[in-house]
Structure 1
Amino acid sequence: MVGRAKRARKIAAAAAFGGGGAGALGLATWGLLATEARIARKVVGRPFEGAPDDTGTYGSGFGDTIELLILGDSTARGMGADDRAQTVGAIVASAVAALTSRPVRLTNVSAIGAESADLDRQVDVAQDEVAEPDVAIIMVGANDVTHRIDRSVSIRHLAMAVNRLRENGAEVVVGTCPDLGAVRPVPQPLRALMQRWSRDLAAAQTVAVVEQGGRTVSLGDLLGEEFHERPGVMFSKDQFHPSAAGYARAASAILPSVLDALGHHSIDTGRAPDERRGESVGPVAVAAVRAVADPGTEVSGTGDVGMRGRFAVLRRRHRHPVPGPTEAGTEPDDRGESTTN
């Protein structure tokens, strides 16, 4: 854990000062990886042509509309979901609307195939479309790993995106890079290397995001055990992107942090970290590494700075039951059913 914490701090520091953060691999190693990647492409199912468009208004109520932004890659876009109600954005928006009794306007500017460098453009689009966002969810990192992007470059772009969103008044919740070692169709040794790279990137993402005033939720191998036991349930037909059930699992991990960011009272409000649950307050790099190994864990800043850098609180969130998603443009009637506006 100490080694990964040092790497996370090093990558984040390199990103801040414009240096390099990824070690070089020999030509023989890259040749082996290229061969394994070709095998993986044959095993993994055919990609989808697109993803549902989940931008719209969810729920209803008497309060002001909550502006929710979604940025990132194909998982943020919902590739693998059958319809718009099954994406992470739609599920979170529907749940927030139900739990706050306020309508939620979701604006999804994510893109299939996006890397962290694409966040710059996505923030531009988001700022043009939403003047005063309340909260932004970012899900990014997998394509940076598979495309072998220098990790310090990835972190620099993520940190800039979080900073810009925060300066615009938005709370930011980042679902860190998933553990690509959980994708079973990818053969060894490529899968082991992808696991290490994705975990290192997730830890560095956490350090950088907390430094910029955001909070992270570890997605890790959130679907790994289920994929191994029930590959047809948590993953979609391409065996890489989550299924509707997989997106629901990811949304349930992110939802408590979104509610907390919005100031919505929950079971965790005002609760001190519980050591019996593995929760703690300490250096952000240490919290980042622990979070990588514990999917669903949130890391947020405390405002304190010590000898080993900024302090953060690591919390295992109680997961709210996720209300059934509603289609954009609908609202519940007195019987709890949906009616078209």
Structure 2
Amino acid sequence: MYSGMLIVLLPLALGYCIPCRSQSIVHFINVAVARMVYLILFLMGISLAFVDNLSTHLGTIFTVCLVFLGCITLCNLAGLWLLDVRRGRVEGERGAPALSKWSLLLDSARLCLVIIGGLLVGQWLDPQWFAVDTLSEWALMLLLLLIGIQLRNSGMRLRQILLNRWGLAIALVVMVSSWVGGLAGAWLLDMPASHGLAFASGNGWYSLSGILIGDQLGPVLGSAAFLNDLARELVAILIIPALMRRHPSCAIGYGGATAMDFTLPVLQRSGGVTIVPVAIVSGFVLSLAGPVLILGFLSLSSGG
């Protein structure tokens, strides 16, 4: 348990302690993070290839993914809808023309193709000499170090976060409603409650949830976690424009941690620039909480 938490939290904390004032270096880090995500997903595909009788597990992967996606989506949207009702109708400024959904969906399709590529390459590798677990661990630590630097240099300060009550409220509602959905999914699948809570804590951060859950519970459930959070991102892209005008909390919150990066352009174009600080605060809080919550819940099932 403790070694797993150290692997995640130590590089994240170290990265967050590194200030960076050079825009060229920040740009390089942003590009490196994108490339590292592809590498980790490729290694996840290789891990899947090493699973005995993989074809018999595909049904499990998609069943787990769909059940958790359905339960978490329903609970998220219900909780965020109640938040909007409590806040009253909030009119944002008119956004810019919508981004092409096809281009965004194509980006997500590439991620799936990377995993499939790793799966195909893994058929030709010998698990006895190709230490995919060790490589994934080192790649994850490097990714988290870079993400920590990104978070430190994202422009968000503690004062800005604490003063944005709407963004904090969205993050809290997403976390709690996701846990409810995760518990419901675990009950339907006859899984330990702690596993359901871990699945629910990814909040759309597919590369992180997939590799952390895969490391603790195996590549089959790790792949299910990846697909669950990736599908959440795809659904967010599709529903944000429709929800933004009448239910802005639903539009901002459903994307989870991606509200501060991947889905942020869609949110800005649908709701205007006034939505951006709220989305960044919500995504920032969920990004910081994700690895801690996932590892914390997984440690409950490991018995310490």
Q: Same fold (TM over 0.5)?
A: no
More strand per residue: 1 or 2? 1
Q: 1 or 2 for the larger relative contact order (CA 8 Å, sep ≥6)? A: 2
Structure 2 length-normalised TM? 0.27
Structure 1 length-normalised TM? 0.25
